[in-house]
Structure 1
Amino acid sequence: MCKVVIFTRVSTRIQDNQRQVNDLNEIAGRRGWNVEKVFCEQISGATSNKNRGELVAMLDYISVNHIEKVMVTELSRLGRDTVQVLEVIERLNESGVSLYIDNYNIETLTSDGKINAMSQFMVTILAEVARMERRTIRERMESGYVNYINAGGRVGRKPGYHKTADIMQVEYTEELRLLRKGISLRNVSKLTGTSVNTLRKCKSLL
């Protein structure tokens, strides 16, 4: 039976990976693939690969457990930076592991383990499109923000508002866990997407 792992990613802690997991488990069942492990990540897809804990763990796992395929619902779940995505695919190719991308029903390797040239070409194009879409969304958000400010809009918290220590303990559980391990503010910020200033406040609670 084909041994596979599932990899999912959402950008924030308020989003849920479960739909991706359920969809991919169903597909694996239909195809007779055995899901050996599920990796769920909650981090921006633009984060550097080396700072993505679940991605690194997944790559380490497949290298020692004879995994044949990595399943994702769409390419953007693997990442949103073209170079970073292609770096992961190259790592998978070197390990003889095929990447299955569900929404396009394609794999990066053929059934005999050779590189699927057409799918590799498609992956490169799709990753670049995803990067361009992300840049367009960011530019629109920045434009909307500027227009709102120019129209007299106010941003930020209400004067005098601050989060209590109890609220921060609940809201920033992962950040506090990483800080307790001695990871630097800058690296925790990269891993979680939380600002360094907020992390300084978190650190004061330790």
Structure 2
Amino acid sequence: MKAIIYARVSSTTDRQTTDRQVADLKTYAEYAKMEVVKVFEEKVSGAKKNAERPVLVEALEYCRTEQIDMLLVSELSRLGRNAFEVLETVKGLVDDKINLYMQKEKFTLLNDEKQPSMFAPVMLATLSTCAQLERENIKFRLNSGRQQYIAKGGQLGRKTGSVKSIDKKKEEYKDVLKALRQGLSVRQVAKLTDTSASTVQRLKKEFHL
């Protein structure tokens, strides 16, 4: 059985990595006697639409074109910023007979006949809604904390001089910009220059490439 791994973290800095997700999913794949043929890793905000997650889009397309049997993710929330997006993604997998394993929920989407159980739609809707509510609660607490900080005289935002200038970005990411100008895809540039796909995507948009 062929499988791929999709791992995502929200921070685009080195503060978070996908290492643990990938390692845990590889362990599961070995236990379930699956062959992991490719690993897709992405650093992008959980608030982004799926269309703004280039690696996720690539992973889903790879599943379809390469006849992948199973998509492995750490949790259901990796597949969308809200319940509607998650369910849309899952529906696409069901239509294409691609199974899905979610480690946190310990749930597999399809049975041996590649059909979802009668309880799957209800469970998926409940899980994705709970994940969305959890994100909204976190956002509320963060905003509340910021407001209290400002009310006490605190200042938000970067320190003066901490924002990189265009010229500095051109110098620092010259290899990335050169590769983009050559017409390479975001994923190809990310691999070639050892830069995160989200950074490449941001530079592509910022420099209109």
Please indicate the TM-score interval, normalised by the length of the shorter structure: 0.7 to 0.9
- The structural deviation recorded for 1:18 is 1.3
Partners in 2 of 1:162 and 1:46 — Cα distance? 23
Instruction: For residue 117 of structure 1, give the secondary structure of its aligned residue in structure 2.
Output: coil
Q: Is the 8 A contact 2:42 2:198 kept in 1?
A: no
Instruction: For residue 96 of structure 1, give the secondary structure of its aligned residue in structure 2.
Output: coil
Q: Does 1:10 align with 2:13?
A: no
Partners in 1 of 2:164 and 2:44 — Cα distance? 23
- The structural deviation recorded for 1:157 is 3.5
Moved over 3 A (4+): 157-181
* Matching residue of 1:48: 49
Partners in 2 of 1:133 and 1:166 — Cα distance? 40
* Matching residue of 2:29: 28
Partners in 1 of 2:4 and 2:111 — Cα distance? 18
Partners in 1 of 2:63 and 2:27 — Cα distance? 21
Partners in 2 of 1:145 and 1:171 — Cα distance? 32
* Matching residue of 1:156: 157
Partners in 2 of 1:64 and 1:104 — Cα distance? 27
Instruction: For residue 38 of structure 2, give the secondary structure of its aligned residue in structure 1.
Output: strand
- The structural deviation recorded for 1:156 is 2.7
Partners in 2 of 1:171 and 1:85 — Cα distance? 36
Aligned residues: 194
Out of 152-161 and 47-56, give the one that drifted further. 152-161
The superposition leaves residues 125-183 of structure 1 with CA deviations (integer Å, 9 ceiling, x where unpaired) of 111111111111111111111111111112233445554668646887899589856xx
- The structural deviation recorded for 1:82 is 0.9
Instruction: For residue 104 of structure 1, give the secondary structure of its aligned residue in structure 2.
Output: coil
Partners in 2 of 1:140 and 1:54 — Cα distance? 29
Q: Is the 8 A contact 1:107 1:116 kept in 2?
A: no
Out of 164-173 and 106-115, give the one that drifted further. 164-173
Instruction: For residue 154 of structure 1, give the secondary structure of its aligned residue in structure 2.
Output: coil
* Matching residue of 1:132: 133
Out of 107-116 and 156-165, give the one that drifted further. 156-165
Q: Does 1:98 align with 2:110?
A: no
Please report the RMSD computed on the Cα atoms of aligned residues, expressed in angstroms: 3.4
Matches within 5 A, 1:56-67: 56-67=57-68
| TM-score scaled by length of structure 1 | 0.79
| TM-score scaled by length of structure 2 | 0.78
- Unaligned runs of 5+ residues in structure 2 are 184-196
Partners in 1 of 2:79 and 2:207 — Cα distance? 31
Sequence identity (%): 35
